[in-house]
Amino acid sequence: MPLFKPAYIETFKKGLLSEKIEKAYEILKSCTLCPRTCKVDRLSGEIGICKTGEKAYVSSFNSHFGEEDPLVGTHGSGTIFFTHCNLLCIFCQNYDISHLGHGEQTSNEKLAGMMLHLQKAGCHNINFVTPSHVVPQILSAVQIAVDNGLSVPLVYNTGGYDRVETLKLLEGVFDIYMPDFKFWDPEIAKTLCDAENYPEVARKALIEMHRQVGDLITDESGIARRGLLVRHLVLPHGLAGTRELMRFIANKISSNTYVNIMPQYRPCGRAAEIEELSDYLSQKDYKAALQEAREEGVERLDSRKRRFMFL
């Protein structure tokens, strides 16, 4: 297999990364980066739903071994967890980070340093967690990092609430997209994250991501190099609409899409406000979700054995 070279290296050499950074920062003057379209001037210190102005906030960065096997490999995925979020699900398992804002304001230079540190530690990729509201900062940090030797793939690890217009700025920068595909029913999305348009937005986002990078490709060691990897958290009592989501993936994206159907739901944050979410996920519901995915034609399910307690 030929030596893999991340897409952003060529984009950088052609001078296209600088153009993308300029366009991204222009958006911050009246922010429409994400579907919330708050239209605040983040460069002047105004903040919208994501509570982030000109600089990104980071809660932590480390070699992470809890991700999917194609990302983790032997040395881990180099995760950078951004503080705040543009989606704000009431049951978020990182509620202290996404809702309560635990983290520190970080310069683009420091963000680039984190990336280089993780690469030096042997991580197989740099995994940006909750990146949708800090795209300009990420692009700027990538430019600094690649000029200093960054050479591993970048992972866009998102809740799926992304504008296609913003994703187009990322073409030629990210080799791996890892969106959540959370809900099918707009009313459920309205109740759980005040984003009634989430299902429509996520469908368009996944189509655009797949257009850019295609199905997931791994090397001879099983390490992800390029492509789409979709996550779906199964919710109690079928609230997520798993069957409809899987049908869409199989029919409108690709039946060869790598999908991780996740069983680790537990009541977090404000989940107790919704009666159905106050329950832990049952083994029956999780097995039903796996069966629905197979019946709808999703052929490439994450097969890692996980240790979770079902009730």
In a domain, 311, yes or no: no
In a domain, 239, yes or no: yes
In a domain, 169, yes or no: yes
Task: Count how many domains the chain has.
Answer: 1
Structural domain boundaries, residue 85: 7-301
Say what the pLDDT of residue 305 is.
52
pLDDT band for position 311 (cuts 50, 70, 90)? very low
Say what the pLDDT of residue 27 is.
98
Q: Is the pLDDT of residue 91 over 90?
A: yes
Q: Is the pLDDT of residue 309 over 60?
A: no
Say what the pLDDT of residue 4 is.
84
Say what the pLDDT of residue 303 is.
81
Q: What's 96's domain CATH number?
A: 3.20.20.70
Percent pLDDT > 70 in the chain is: 97
In a domain, 53, yes or no: yes
In a domain, 307, yes or no: no
In a domain, 73, yes or no: yes
Q: Is the pLDDT of residue 143 over 60?
A: yes
In a domain, 41, yes or no: yes
pLDDT tens-place string over residues 196-213: 999 999 999 999 999 999
Say what the pLDDT of residue 3 is.
76
What's the 3-state SS for the chain? CCCCCCHHHHHHHCCHHHHHHHHHHHHHHHCCCCCCCCCCCHHHCCCCCCCCCCCEEEEEEEEECCCCHHHHCCCCEEEEEECCCCCCCCCCCCHHHHCCCCCEEECHHHHHHHHHHHHHCCCCCEEEECCCCCHHHHHHHHHHHHCCCCCCCEEEEECCCCCHHHHHHCCCCCCEEEEECCCCCHHHHHHHHCCCCHHHHHHHHHHHHHHHHCECEECCCCCEEEEEEEEEECCHHHCCCHHHHHHHHHHHHCCCCEEEEECCCCCCCCHHHCHHHHCCCCHHHHHHHHHHHHHCCCCEECCCCCCCCCC
The residue-averaged pLDDT of 52-71 equals 95
Structure pTM?
Answer: 0.95
